[in-house]
Chains A and B, each alone.
Chain A
Amino acid sequence: MSPVMYNLLNVVLILVCVVFGAALLTWLERRLLGIWQDRYGPNRVGPFGTLQIVADMIKLLMKQDWVPPFADRLIFIVAPAFAMFVVVAAFAVIPMAPGVGVVDLNIGLLFFLAMTSLGVYAVMFGAYASDNKYAMLGGLRAAAQMVSYEVFMGLSLMGVVMLAGTFNLRELVLAQADGWFIGPQIVGFFIFFMAGIAESHRTPFDLPEAEHELTAGFHTEYSGMKFAMFFIGEYVSVLMSAAMITVLFFGGWLGPAWFPPLGWFLLKTMALVLLMILIRGSLPRPRYDQLMSFGWKFMLPLALVNLLITGALILI
């Protein structure tokens, strides 16, 4: 197979698997939340309810594709596509196994951080273009939350970068051959995990779309496939956070040889996704000022102290 064909196959397969996986995640999340709430969740359509995603897809495609007359039409349409685009683009740099991965950038980690930072624009565009008070409040919250959690998200990864001495994600994984970074960087892992949840604005950090206060937050005015784009975008970013944590802290595809490298990668990612769903199923949403003070007064100092200690230990 020619290298071009191989790369093309890689790109298409990863794109399809990511989007399909995110769709399947909506089903998995509902099943798991159901189990943890002593009920079953969707179990009617297909085996174990897995075809529920097809049913949902049909429903969303059948819905009227409504753009409110008061909305800023162009930005309103671009925003969900943008939300989807940035998370899928960030997936491009994630190395899944030797030979599996879209692109091998020298600054992969920086590219990832840049793409997740752009994610806030999708939310702000959607909120601004909706011209709706709930969307406005949701957009304000999203902007403040994502910008402030971005700060220590980057800082928490610098410890890993210092230990491995590279921004290249493949080399970062290989640097963990004699010990995962979860050990020396447990604080960094914790901070990045929290920031990852906040970046994909899921419970307990789902204030931008807090159903109980803001109907649906920034995507209040969205329906049909546009809503689905935001929705799937959120699940792709959950997958992305989990995959990124796997790469940075859990040694990516490294593992005993009796299981294929890609299998190890998927297994670790899946375990982290389950943890995220468990957190969604159990923790309550904090008040908005609590969220911000938690970010700035606790997480940021913690990230800085972690950075300081890691740097000191490397120098010694």
Chain B
Amino acid sequence: MKQKTGLGQYIYIVWDYFYSNIVTLVKVASHTFTKADTVEYPEQMPYLAPRFRGRIVLTRDPTGEERCVACNLCASACPTDCISLQKTEDESGRWSAEYFRINFSRCVFCGMCEEACPTYAIQLTQDFELAEYERQNMVYEKQHLLIDGPGKHPDYNFYELSGKAVSGRAKGAGTQEAEPVNLKSLLP
């Protein structure tokens, strides 16, 4: 407040007390006619951004196989250690998870697992309605996490471009792979 003396200060204080307060009253009262920002949630779904991070799912590749190769990168990236899994290998040489468990009562939906995943297997979805009456029901097993579709990257198939030999198929035989280079050859 500007320092004045005597009557000037008195008048200034009165002005300060009343004028600004009356302006405030009028402005607040004018909000009677503005629309409320509230989204009445259960009846009306809020807008969710395309990259909203909700319930975690495990996706499948275009051929319908599980994308997860049980590399454990998601579990090690997880800041709350809510992911736990065990690797297993079938006779064709594909790796997959023997069990895959996410404890959603610990998950903070940070999306680090999705960023760490080398095969786009683990993805976060738009679903946030995860309430349960029993705490144990917050622990999702693999059969709860797996979905039927490919999720966000419909064409991606790890085994078609990684160069790993599986299902009796040789290295470089995948649709998106080049033939292996013969390092010992001098031909161009």
Interface: B40 (CB within 8 A) = yes
Given contacts A278-B29, A294-B17, A298-B14, contact A38 B24 (CB under 8 A): no
B31 touches A36 (CB 8 A): yes
Q: How many residues of A contact B (CB 8 A)?
A: 14
Residues of chain B within 8 A of A106, CB atoms compared: none
Q: How far is the CB of A22 from chain B (nearest CB, A)?
A: 23
Partner of B37, one of A39, A281, A298: A39
B36 touches A283 (CB 8 A): no
A38 touches B31 (CB 8 A): yes
B17 touches A37 (CB 8 A): no
Q: How far is the CB of B179 from chain A (nearest CB, A)?
A: 64
B contact residues, range: 10 to 19
Given contacts A35-B31, A36-B32, A298-B14, contact A283 B25 (CB under 8 A): yes
Interface: B35 (CB within 8 A) = yes
Residues of chain A within 8 A of B17, CB atoms compared: 294, 298
Partner of B34, one of A38, A294, A298: A38
Q: How far is the CB of B63 from chain A (nearest CB, A)?
A: 49
Interface: B21 (CB within 8 A) = yes
Interface of B is mostly: helix
Q: How far is the CB of A297 from chain B (nearest CB, A)?
A: 9
A38 touches B35 (CB 8 A): yes
B25 touches A38 (CB 8 A): no
B37 touches A38 (CB 8 A): yes
Interface: B28 (CB within 8 A) = yes
Residues of chain A within 8 A of B35, CB atoms compared: 38
- The CA-CA distance from A282 to B36 in the complex, in Å, is 17
Q: How far is the CB of A118 from chain B (nearest CB, A)?
A: 30
Residues of chain B within 8 A of A48, CB atoms compared: none
Residues of chain B within 8 A of A283, CB atoms compared: 21, 24-25
Q: How far is the CB of A36 from chain B (nearest CB, A)?
A: 5
Partner of B40, one of A40, A282, A294: A40
B36-64 vs A, CB cutoff 8 Å, 1 = contact: the mask equals 11101000000000000000000000000
Residues of chain B within 8 A of A35, CB atoms compared: 31-32, 36
A126-153 vs B, CB cutoff 8 Å, 1 = contact: the mask equals 0000000000000000000000000000
Q: How far is the CB of B9 from chain A (nearest CB, A)?
A: 11
- The CA-CA distance from A283 to B24 in the complex, in Å, is 7
Partner of B25, one of A34, A37, A40, A279: A279
Residues of chain A within 8 A of B27, CB atoms compared: 282
CB-based nearest A residue for B26 = A282
Q: How far is the CB of A108 from chain B (nearest CB, A)?
A: 31
In A21-48, the 8 Å CB interface with B consists of: 34-40
A255-279 vs B, CB cutoff 8 Å, 1 = contact: the mask equals 0000000000000000000000011
Residue pairs across A and B with Cβ atoms less than 8 A apart, 5 shown, are A36-B32, A38-B35, A39-B37, A282-B24, A283-B21
- Add 14 more A-B contacts to A38-B31, A39-B38 (CB < 8 A): A34-B36, A35-B36, A36-B31, A38-B34, A39-B36, A39-B37, A40-B40, A278-B28, A278-B29, A279-B25, A282-B25, A282-B27, A294-B17, A298-B13
Chain B positions near chain A (C-beta within 8 angstroms): 13-14, 17, 21, 24-25, 27-29, 31-32, 34-38, 40
Closest 4 CB pairs of A and B: A282-B28, A39-B38, A282-B24, A36-B31
